[in-house]
Homo-oligomer: A and B are copies of this chain.
Amino acid sequence: MTVKTRPGLLLIISSPSGAGKSTLCSHLRREEGDRLWTSVSATTRERRKNEVEGQDYYFVSHDKFQRMQKGGEFLEHAEVFGNFYGTPGEPVEKRLNAGIDVLFDIDWQGAQQIRSNAEDARVISIFILPPSMAALEHRLRHRAQDSEETVQFRMSRAHEEISHWEDYDYVLVNDDLDACFKRLHAILTAERVRAEKEYAIKDLAISLIKK
């Protein structure tokens, strides 16, 4: 009996800046190892000192980005303040075909595009809410030495991002990091069980009732 490999899931996580998404995603990567691959975006913006090519982003020229876009190479793309960002589809498809789940740390617009471009693939989308706007503002103020202007700007972007909470399959509140991570991990586990129903589980069930 040959068991077909289940194709990977597309796991989208969105949240306003400061809600703890990066920490949750890095916990998930650590826990999952090779079973979860994080999608890397291409961008035209300048590389920052601490960023690594091919790990944080693929840093590309405007020309290259436009060629990729025209060539239909992006699963989703957007312009944010004059810089372009896009998710190359080919490395994602490679993982999905190999049964590796793919994590997307993107905003509501990217999520929307991935949902409509995913075709047959299973997309699971999760939104992370802060427990309150005051808590979010507190985190934004204390995690970096940003100017008052930057904090206010991020807060208004947070409102916009949160207003799309309803588009997501699951919405988590990050009031306690450990509890929130447990729920996030449970969602991935449960969705894998659900996805497996059409693959290894189906083969097993059919073999059990045969004869």
Residues of A within 8 A of B (CB): 129-133, 159, 162-163, 165-166, 169-173, 182-183, 185-187, 189-191, 193-194, 196-197, 201, 204-205, 208-209, 211
Contact = CB atoms under 8 A, between A and B. Distances in A.
A130 B189 contact: no
A43 to B, nearest CB: 28
A190 B195 CA distance: 14
A171 B193 contact: yes
A191 B190 contact: yes
B169 A204 contact: no
Contact of A171 (B159, B187, B201): B201
Nearest to A185: B186
**A interface, over-half SS:** helix
Closest 5 CB pairs of A and B: A186-B189, A190-B190, A186-B186, A165-B205, A187-B190
A54 to B, nearest CB: 32
15 contacts: A129-B201, A133-B211, A159-B208, A169-B194, A170-B193, A170-B197, A171-B201, A172-B193, A173-B201, A183-B189, A185-B186, A186-B187, A186-B190, A187-B190, A189-B190
